[in-house]
Structure 1
Amino acid sequence: MKNRYIPITLIVAVCLIAAAAGFLFPPSEPETPVRVVLDNSGGRVIFTHVTHTEDFGYECSDCHHDEIGQDKPLPCGSCHPKAFDEKFRKAHQKNFANTEACLRCHENVPTGPLAEEDRPDTENIPLRSEAFHTQCMSCHENDGGPYGENSCYTCHAR
């Protein structure tokens, strides 16, 4: 009767070892992010980095402008928020590895909370959805991707 517990014990031990190995040795992060889900009012868009880099030959800097002194491009939301609200104002400086990026929007590197008159003119900085749409549509128009009134649902989920 005790012999029947041996296979169960072995199976449980193997599963525990496999689970521990998964936590101790996580898979490496790919050099190019696989995909990004963009939620918006026109319908969710699944943007595949690999398709655009490997199949169409785009470089990261074609969309991310430049690396601003970092090892890899910044996520778009670092500079182009969903909204220029208090949450973004308090948290966005944590997205940058150094103060060089501050000078893209600020006259000087901020050292504390800014008075309203010292804040950048956010009217000239596109929100995330505007930046994506402008960037995507200009490439689609210039490079032959889906473009025009009847092509929205090629990228946007209904």
Structure 2
Amino acid sequence: MTSNKEKLLAYAITIVMLLIGVVGYAAFSEKAPDTPYRILFQSMAGKVQFDHMEHVGDYGLACNDCHHNLSEGEKEPETCGSCHLPDADDPIKRSEAFHNQCIGCHKDGGPTKCNGCHLL
């Protein structure tokens, strides 16, 4: 059997190690990137994983190619609903907007079939 001193020492070491881990994580955690790496869109036809870095870095797309109302120097795009009001007489559906935006570019290259983007 272990003595109370050994148990107390084990608890103390555990607590100290836990504190070191928490403080180390808080002090040295990575800063969130300015540009997201991947974005996951929810969809009735299956989730769509959009690799932001691939489209911007590899294909050389500018922010305004997708975020069409992004002002010069603005880093954070507004939500689509801030301009395309959901209570308008004829609101464009979110799925239609993405399909128009994405499929338009993908005609020149990239997946064009549903399962090329939708994770079914």
TM-score (norm 1): 0.60
**Which 5+ residue runs of structure 2 have no aligned equivalent?**
none
Higher normalized helix content (fraction of residues): 1
Percentage of matched positions with identical amino acids? 32
The CA deviation string for residues 75-100 of structure 1, in whole angstroms up to 9 with x for no partner, is: 5444477x815xxxxxxxxxxxxxxx
TM-score (norm 2): 0.75
**Which 5+ residue runs of structure 1 have no aligned equivalent?**
86-120
Which is greater in Rg?
2
Higher normalized strand content (fraction of residues): 2
Paired residues for 1:116-155 under 5 Å: 123=90, 126-142=92-108, 144-147=109-112, 151-155=113-117
Q: 1:80 to 1:136 in 2, by over 3 A?
A: farther
Deviation at 1:18, TM superposition (A): 2.0
Deviation at 1:24, TM superposition (A): 5.8
Q: 1:140 to 1:128 in 2, by over 3 A?
A: same
Q: 1:69 to 1:59 in 2, by over 3 A?
A: closer
Alignment: residue pair count: 117
| Aligned alpha-carbon RMSD (Å) | 2.7
